[in-house]
Amino acid sequence: MKIVGIVAEYNPFHNGHKIHILETKKAVGGDVGIVCCMSGDFVQRGEPAIFSKHARAKAAIAGGADLILELPLPWSLSSAESFAGGAVGILGEIRCVDYLSFGSECGEVNPLYTVASALLNTSVSEQILCELKTGVSYATARQTVLTRNIGELAAVLESPNNILAIEYIKSLIINSYDMKPITFLRFGAGHDDDSDDEQFRSASYIRADILSGASVSDFIPAAVLEIINSEIKNGRGPISTEKMELMLLSLLRMKNRDV
């Protein structure tokens, strides 16, 4: 059996996630086990996940995964570099994962690997530090230096999923993990894209639909939809920052201002 690792938030699990798992199994071939490292009750932007980690783990299993491991809070709330490093570290340290599968706007591993390797080059790091001293942002400094060193390939850093993919590969290189990276071209709706696609919509817009009470049956696998509906029926979701606002304000007002 081949074991494939996937890093995810599944907030919530949707058709695009199911296709990713299916395509991963098809690409690897044979008997494939899917191990996911998933954020817990809070996700990368610091927001609460729309459903609990237990419900989302159950949904991922219903969607084709075999084992869900939790990415601890300090990493799930961190930058792309720490988020990726924490998740890849967990998958690497269980010492049984053969592949790391992820989506990207690039759709090819080689360009991502070239950029990741360049960012780990000491000379490139020193050049970025010099650029930062001019007062530009880190992203601008990094783009300027990489363009200088590797030319047009630096453009892959302009897309969010490519950035995360590069951080995954960097972690693989730094830690010498024996996991082969495989990537798939992202399709359908982008991260915050309000697409009219009949099957695929971004997680952010699916969350908005769930919070408004709109139907999401076209964008969520049937088995996962049953879990979501059960959570809602039993009053365990959907969860949002707005719904937590009164509780958070109350807790803050009870605190001693000197603390």
With beta carbons less than 8 A apart as the criterion, state whether 9 and 41 touch. no
Residue type for position 75: W
Q: And the tokens for 133? A: 């001293």
Structure confidence at residue 187 (pLDDT): 63
Burial 54-74 (b: 16+ CB within 10 A, else e): ebbbbbbbbbbbeebebbeee
With beta carbons less than 8 A apart as the criterion, state whether 200 and 191 touch. no
Q: And the tokens for 39? A: 């954020």
Structure confidence at residue 243 (pLDDT): 83
Q: For the sheet containing 67-71, what is the strand order?
A: 67-71, 32-39, 2-8, 99-104, 180-185
Structure confidence at residue 259 (pLDDT): 60
Strands (E), the chain: 2-8, 32-39, 67-71, 99-104, 180-185
Q: And the tokens for 34? A: 């899917």
Mean pLDDT of 185-205: 66
CA distances from 77 to 43, 52, 121 (A): 6, 16, 27
Look at residue 198 and tell me whether its pLDDT is greater than 70: no
Mean pLDDT of 69-83: 96
pLDDT range class, residue 189, cuts 50, 70, 90: very low
Q: pLDDT per residue over 16-54, tens digit each?
A: 999 999 999 999 999 999 999 999 999 988 899 999 999
Contacts of 23 (CB under 8 A, 6+ apart): 184
Contacts of 89 (CB under 8 A, 6+ apart): 171, 175
Q: And the tokens for 236? A: 């365990």
pLDDT range class, residue 252, cuts 50, 70, 90: confident
Residue 78: exposed, middle, or buried by beta-carbon count in 10 A (0-12, 13-18, 19+)?
Answer: middle
Structure confidence at residue 197 (pLDDT): 54
Q: Sign of dihedral through CA atoms 45, 183, 123, 93?
A: positive
